[in-house]
Structure 1
Amino acid sequence: MKLEDYKFKDQTLLNLALTHSSAANKQKENGASNERLEFLGDSILNAILAETVYNKFKDYSEGELSIILANLVNAKTLTKIAIELDLAQQIVLDNGEERCGGRANPKTLENVLEAVIAAIYLDSNFDTVKDVVNQWWSKFFLEPKKLFQKDYKTKLQEYVQKKYKVLPSYKTNSVSGAAHNPTFTVCVALKGYPRITAQGRTKKEAEQEAAYKMLEYIKLQYE
């Protein structure tokens, strides 16, 4: 698996996709970074993989397809693919971000992968980027059972809804740290239970950690 699987006609698109906001802010001209491409790439990736999942798992329900798709686009999967594509070594960072270990930051790796996907789309067309994405993600379809693992938010919701007829709610308490490397503190609330907080590099990551802690608390206290 290599980034070179696709040959760019417009190299500036790839250069932009690899430019972190920390480096862009040092530029005197337009200060462009990969943030806008990341926004586009996120939507393109979800559309491609949603179609692939729909076609590959014809006997699965909507809820089951949602679980599979969530596992294909979660932070763990995106970070793994970005590392396999050696994107960490190609990201353009400023010196401060470099010293802080920005190349190993999972959020940075997720963003650059999505930006590269958008860049390929803009450089070609939807069918081409779909072929590239499905090639990069192909190995994850070799073990369907792993794709069907539920995330902790889903597990918590299904567990408490069935057993206690209530639903959990999530609230972001704070966002700290540098803008390009934030830490999210999230609280999960459930009627009749203490509030539980957790932290993560992204809001989704913090919510997953909070859901995991709540599940463990419930099982420890009431089972």
Structure 2
Amino acid sequence: MKLDGLQEKLGYRFKNEQLLIQSMTHPSYMVHAGNEESSNQRLEFLGDAVLELIISEFLYLRFPHLREGKLTQMRSSLVKGTVLVDLANKFKLSKYIRVNVRSKYDSPRELPSSQEDALEALIGAIFLDSDFPNAKEIVLEWFAGLTDRLSELNYDHNPKGRLQELLQPKVSNHQIRYEVVKETGPSHSRKFEVELIIDEQTYGKGIGKSKKEAEVAAAREVLGNFETLDLTDA
């Protein structure tokens, strides 16, 4: 099984290539041998735990003011489903997954669940082949667009609520308000301009076809600049 191309894509070269082969071995491949321990299921179990720890630490350090419930929600959105399948597709894992051609499935290597499992097994294999710091470095390189993904999954879902969560440790709710500063256009096509004011200082502006839309735009603007936001006078 030629795996040089895969190792090149992963950015990691295995010392023990058997671990890589095992990570790419679908359970169906081992059915005729009756040896499930040689499939990628055990590595998937390990890789799932390693991935959760890596992402948990990243979120804990990246968002120091978020509560446990929100961190859990964000982690769940990153370590399962489409995020992992997208990564698997990026590495073209389906090309390397070993399956039993007599499987009852038409093409088990193409199933999203098979690709997700293989990716988690890969993480487990890298962890065993090296150590946690190396596995962490590799995985975070794979998730290079992690901040953008979090923005897509969380900031745009509820910008006002998200901003309020981040501001809670710094200012009280009564110090935050949205104020309409301008209305333009005819009655059937109004435009609203809103300022986001924190402790009597303007930190963001938004324009929309309704007050709510303008408030959301203002919150999104502040979120985009939150890391450089100076609230020392608030």
Seen in structure 2, the aligned counterparts of structure 1 residues 66 and 98 have a Cα distance that, compared at 3 Å, is: same
Contact 1:20 1:93 in 2 (8 A): yes
Seen in structure 2, the aligned counterparts of structure 1 residues 87 and 53 have a Cα distance that, compared at 3 Å, is: same
Match for residue 33 of structure 1? 39
Residues 1:91 and 2:91 are matched in the alignment: no
Contact 1:67 1:148 in 2 (8 A): no
Residues 1:109 and 2:123 are matched in the alignment: no
Residues 1:135 and 2:141 are matched in the alignment: yes
Seen in structure 2, the aligned counterparts of structure 1 residues 150 and 42 have a Cα distance that, compared at 3 Å, is: farther
Runs of 4+ in 1 over 4 A off after TM superposition: 28-31
Residues 1:56 and 2:62 are matched in the alignment: yes
Match for residue 129 of structure 2? 123
* In structure 2, C-alpha distance between the alignment counterparts of 1:34 and 1:60, rounded to whole Å: 35
Contact 2:27 2:36 in 1 (8 A): no
Seen in structure 2, the aligned counterparts of structure 1 residues 31 and 133 have a Cα distance that, compared at 3 Å, is: closer
Give, in angstroms, the shift of residue 28 of structure 1: 7.2
Give, in angstroms, the shift of residue 147 of structure 1: 3.1
Q: Which has the higher contact order (CA 8 A, sep 6+)?
A: 1
Contact 1:24 1:32 in 2 (8 A): yes
TM-score (ref. length: structure 2): 0.59
* In structure 1, C-alpha distance between the alignment counterparts of 2:18 and 2:141, rounded to whole Å: 23
For 1:15, give the aligned amino acid: I
Give, in angstroms, the shift of residue 48 of structure 1: 0.5
Seen in structure 2, the aligned counterparts of structure 1 residues 77 and 13 have a Cα distance that, compared at 3 Å, is: same
Give, in angstroms, the shift of residue 144 of structure 1: 3.1
Counterpart of 2:127 in 1: which secondary structure? helix
Any stretches of 5+ residues in structure 2 without a counterpart? Answer: 1-5, 158-234
* In structure 2, C-alpha distance between the alignment counterparts of 1:150 and 1:27, rounded to whole Å: 49
Aligned-pair identity in percent equals 32
* In structure 2, C-alpha distance between the alignment counterparts of 1:90 and 1:51, rounded to whole Å: 30
In the alignment of these two chains, the number of paired residues is 151
Match for residue 15 of structure 2? 9
* In structure 2, C-alpha distance between the alignment counterparts of 1:101 and 1:37, rounded to whole Å: 22
The CA RMSD over aligned residues, in Å, is 2.4
For 1:70, give the aligned amino acid: S
* In structure 1, C-alpha distance between the alignment counterparts of 2:45 and 2:58, rounded to whole Å: 21
Contact 1:41 1:115 in 2 (8 A): yes
Aligned residue runs from structure 1 range 69-88, under 5 A = 69-88=75-94
Match for residue 24 of structure 1? 30
Match for residue 220 of structure 1? none
Seen in structure 2, the aligned counterparts of structure 1 residues 149 and 81 have a Cα distance that, compared at 3 Å, is: farther
Given candidates 69, 73, 83, the residue that maps to 1:67 is: 73
TM-score (ref. length: structure 1): 0.62
Contact 2:123 2:139 in 1 (8 A): yes
* In structure 2, C-alpha distance between the alignment counterparts of 1:102 and 1:149, rounded to whole Å: 36
Counterpart of 2:33 in 1: which secondary structure? coil
Contact 1:140 1:147 in 2 (8 A): no
